[in-house]
Structure 1
């Protein structure tokens, strides 16, 4: 595949994770007319873009949480508490959170396909090496590096789509990319559960790493070279100024906090659920415990429902409802019977995805400039919730069992409801103004 083309002319930098082709809109008509054609639905290039990013998304999110299903095995192999074993998950998500902003800035200078290719290949190779880690410390170090490598895809893929896909076809392309993310997250856990049950945690990590490497090779062969990428003209100082402006806005800060709290609650439940289901009175095999992650599909429906609810009732009411539903789902998992646990997980998963969808959408509406940086900050906060909330939830689970983990989740949901209550009262619903006024976010 040819390397990314040198720009024929300089333009405004495209947003990193924002699914809006702002670069094309910012160009003058003469430049826009001369720009290479974008991939439209039905074209061979469009199909290649979709399949390439679908596979890369699957690989990325399969690898990010690949040890989550294996935590009980890691505890047994290395004599770790649940909280200690969960570090193998939290270091990857934490490293991604810290790296996503600098990597998104780097992609503005060196190109989208180059960053994505390096990201998915490096992460896959590190995943294969992790299967041979001689001790837990080495495994944690490799997972940390893997998290840094994985930051290259969510930081860059949406910007690539916004630049290379024709406007009326962008929504469908973005939807398929997001589907790849969710299918990878769910499928990775299913594969590790089955492979771990058959051959142990090393076999599971090796299987996922090799599958991801295959996806990386296919991505490299399929992804079309960038035709509309323009290197950023903004200096790092200007980008840092934009980040500071977003962090100075109290509404955006609360939205970032909401993403962090929802993810911490969700990560706590799924990190330690395996320990509970493997033990008595359940005593389920690991392959069956891994299959529990099929419940992720509930998030597909609740995310769409959250969008409709926002349109009717506004962000604040939707976020309140999401926090309440997440808490109700956690409470339902308390009885020691699958007739309660499974429905409870479905309810909790639906509440989490609804809250995540509403909060992330509100970020895009609130920020009228620097949307790429605003979205990158949300992604960083979201994954920090996983990396910080997981170990803290593990302490609660270790000290007080499953009821302790549920109490921890309920506290997080209460904080989320409080943040939502202060998020969008009348005056705060108005977005931060850029050069031109925009419609207010509905309260």
Structure 2
């Protein structure tokens, strides 16, 4: 049995129960978040709407996740982690039951907005729960496995929705995700151990706001937050518009075939643990640079007319993105000298700003310059920002 003052270690059964439960919760909410991404071309045709309007089904969800992270992060510090993990899953299920009942895309966007707020409960509370209940020596592994489940969820959501929509209907696909979420909800409710090291934070809200202000005055943290925006903007931009690219000549892929390319996202499952292990030996800065180079190199491969090379490029991009993202997230926690949970929340907020930007703000680029325009933007931004980040850290913050 673990020492509760320090938390559960890898030797404790509860450690693996926590990893399994939070991992399952993560898989479902990230499957829910990214479920509509492969359907954007389908929505454009089905509802006779523009590309920009269809992309709101992603970006509005992301916007509400940002709001949810801020609100639910505060509340989980005051009322505990478990209620927010559990009810996040439950409230994420409900919109999937309602969306098949409407033929209005505006209603779907509204329900996706509500769903995004609910989704935020898991990321707002899960990492804080891990930091409190897992022994420090085992926390790195637990965190890496949790982030890997983020990638697994994104893969399952995209694959399930694309495949079921092509073979059945989008309504049945949403209902299947609701059924999957119900199983996860029961699993988490029955197995996730009660918090033993949670301490109620009785700070006034103005103290939390002051903590945010101090983080925003930290130039190093600001650089990392900006890096999160750029990374996710490029990564989401690639995944949001690759379906449009592949349904056009010379590929003319069906929705079902496009859904299978999202299996490349699964390489993110191994990206986080690999990054954690290599960074301890080689250094974070070097592995971060390698991760960005893999990301942009993979994106560049997609300009090929060879479908095989495009798939390889997507796999490389996924490995590079999750390597860099996991290291940047860990660096934020190490850099913050106080209220680390708030610093992590700010990084997640910047991360999801990048998701919203990559799914909607790049729409004009697609309309005017098609896939080559998307590739140019998503390649140049990470390279330029990485150069700026490394130069600034070397010159001003040695």
Fold-level similarity (TM above 0.5): yes
SS at match of 1:231: coil
Unpaired runs of at least 5, structure 2: none
Q: Distance in 1 between matches of 2:318 and 2:121?
A: 26
Instruction: Quote the Cα distance in structure 2 between the aligned partners of 1:317 and 1:36.
Output: 35
Q: Aligned pair in 2 of structure 1 residues 312, 83: CA closer, same or farther (>3 Å)?
A: farther
CA–CA distance in 2 between the matches of 1:99 and 1:302? 27
Number of equivalent positions: 397
> Cα offset for 1:313?
5.8
From 115, 118, 121, the counterpart of 1:152: 121
Q: Is 1:324 the equivalent of 2:302?
A: no
Q: Which residue does 1:48 correspond to in 2?
A: 17
Decide which structure has greater helix share.
Answer: 2
Change (3 A) 1:301 1:211: closer
- Equivalent residue of 1:274, what SS? helix
Q: Which runs of 5+ in 1 are unaligned?
A: 1-33, 430-443
Stretches (4+) displaced over 6 A: 34-37
1:395-414 alignment, distance < 5 Å: 395-414=364-383
Of 407, 416, 436, the residue aligned with 2:385 is: 416
Q: Is 2:127 the partner of 1:127?
A: no
Q: d(CA) in 2 for partners of 1:326 and 1:169?
A: 29
Per the TM alignment, residue 140 of structure 1 is displaced from its structure 2 partner at its CA by: 0.7
Equivalent residue number for residue 239 of structure 1: 208
SS in 1 for 2:180: helix
Residue 72 of structure 2 corresponds to which residue in structure 1?
A: 103
Cα pair 1:268 1:393 within 8 Å, conserved: yes
Q: Given the two structures, how large is their TM-score scaled by the length of structure 2? A: 0.92
- Measured on the aligned residues, the alpha-carbon RMSD in Å equals 2.4
CA separation in 1, counterparts of 2:353 and 2:24? 25
Shift of 1:356: 1.3
> In the alignment, does 2:321 pair up with 1:352?
yes
Change (3 A) 1:94 1:280: same
- Higher mean Cα deviation, 174-183 or 263-272? 174-183
Shift of residue 56, structure 1, vs aligned partner: 0.9
What whole-Å deviation, never above 9, does each CA across 1:67-94 have from its counterpart, x for those lacking one? 0011111111111222321110111122
1:269 pairs with 2:276: no
Contact 2:148 2:268 in 1 (8 A): no
The aligned residue for residue 61 of structure 1 is 30
For 1:166 and 1:365, the matched residues in 2 are separated by: 16
Matching of residue 83 in structure 1 with residue 83 in structure 2 = no
The aligned counterpart of 2:340 is 371
2-structure distance, mates of 1:38, 1:304: 21
1:178 paired to 2:147: yes
Alignment of 1:299-314 (within 5 A): 299-307=268-276, 310-311=279-280, 314=283
